[in-house]
Amino acid sequence: MTSDDRARVEASSGWGVLHLFYEVDPARAADEVGGAKRVLDAIAACTEDPLHQVLTCAVLGHKADLGIMAVGPDLARLQVLQHALRSAPLTPAYSYVSLTEASEYAMTEDDERARLAADEGVTDPAELEERLAAWRERIVHYREQRLHPQLPQRSTLCFYPMSKRRTGSAAGGENWFALPFDARKELMAGHARVGRSYAGRVVQLITGSTGIDDWEWGVTLFSDDPAALKEIVYEMRFDPVSAQYGEFGPFVTGLVLDPAEALRRVGLHE
C-alpha cells in the first residue's frame, strides 16, 4: 500500500507520534543487499509530505539498536512507514504510540494577570496590558510548538513513558485523579518551573497516550549534553508531581544521527 492508496487519518487535535525501536537481525543484514536503502526509502516516502518528520538514532545499551521517531498529522502515513520498515532486516524491540497535546494545566490570561500583580507588583493598566500582550504572543508560540512541534536537532535524546499514580485514596496522597483540578494545576505549575530552568539545555516534548498505549504520556527529551538528560529527570524526581504521583516506564537513550549514518552505526549498509 502506498501513501496514495489509503485515506488520511487525522486527530481532531494534535499530531500522531510513533516511537519505534528495533534490533538489527545480523544474519539478514549480512545476506540481504540493500537493507539500509529500504529504511531510507521508507523515511523518504513518509517525509514527502513536509508536515511529517522522522528522526533516527543509534540506541545506547542493549534495549534496541535503532530508534525511529516519526511525527505528523496523518496516522495512516505513520503506519505505512511502520509497515515499510518491516521489509528491512530489523526486529521490533519496542514501540510507543501517542498524540501531541496542549497541557490542560497551562496558565490562562487571568492566571498571568494575577501573577504579574502578586509577584511583580504590576498594577498600572497600561503596563499590565503591555505585559499581557507579550504573554499572549509567547503562549500562542508555546501552544503551537506543543501541538505541531518541529523536532529539534540535538545530539542525544531520551524517551520514556509515564503515568500519574491512581492507587490508594486521595487522603493518602496517592491518587492524582482524585485531587481537585486547582490542586493538580498548582502542582503542575511547580513541576513546569523545574522544566523551564533547563531552557536552552533540554528540549521537552510531552505527548498524550491515555487510551492509546499502555501509559498515559510519552516524554522525549533532547539535548546536546547527555548529563542534562540525567539532571533534569533527577531534579524532577524531588518535585511532588513525580515524588508522590509519578510512575515511569523504561528509558531509552540514543545518539541522534543522520539516517544514513545511524544505519551505518548499527550495521546496515546500502
How far CA 192 is from CA of 19, 77, 138, 232, 235, in Å, comes to: 24, 33, 15, 11, 12
How far CA 48 is from CA of 9, 79, 168, in Å, comes to: 17, 15, 49
Q: pLDDT tens, 173-231?
A: 579 998 999 999 889 988 888 888 999 999 999 999 999 999 999 999 999 999 999 99
8-state DSSP, 175: B
| pLDDT attached to residue 104 | 86
| pLDDT attached to residue 66 | 98
> At 238, is the secondary structure helix, strand, or coil?
coil
Q: Which residues of 73-105 are buried (b: 16+ CB within 10 A; e: fewer)?
A: bbbebbbbbbebbeebbbeebbebbbbbbbeee
> At 4, is the secondary structure helix, strand, or coil?
coil
How far CA 9 is from CA of 96, 99, 145, in Å, comes to: 18, 13, 21
| pLDDT attached to residue 4 | 54
For domain 16-101+257-265, give its CATH number from 3.40.50.620, 3.30.70.1030, 3.30.360.10, 3.40.605.10.
3.30.70.1030
Q: Is 231 left (phi over 0), alpha (psi -120 to 50) or beta?
A: alpha
- Among 22, 94, 96, 160, the active-site one is 160
Cell output for 35: 537493507
| pLDDT attached to residue 135 | 81
Least Cα distance to 249 among 159, 160, 158, 166 occurs for 160
8-state DSSP, 38: H
105 is catalytic: no
How far CA 123 is from CA of 89, 108, 165, in Å, comes to: 64, 18, 40
| pLDDT attached to residue 170 | 44
Least Cα distance to 55 among 96, 20, 98 occurs for 20
- The DSSP code sequence of 141-173 is HHHHHHHSPPPP--SEEEEEEEEE-B-S-TTTT
The continuous run of DSSP H or E covering 21 comes out as strand 16-24
The residue written with cell numbers 518491516 in the block is: 86
Q: Contact at 8 Å (CB) between 157 and 253? A: yes
Low-confidence ranges of the chain (pLDDT < 70): 1-6, 168-173
| pLDDT attached to residue 168 | 61
Per-domain residue ranges of the chain: 16-101+257-265
| pLDDT attached to residue 166 | 85
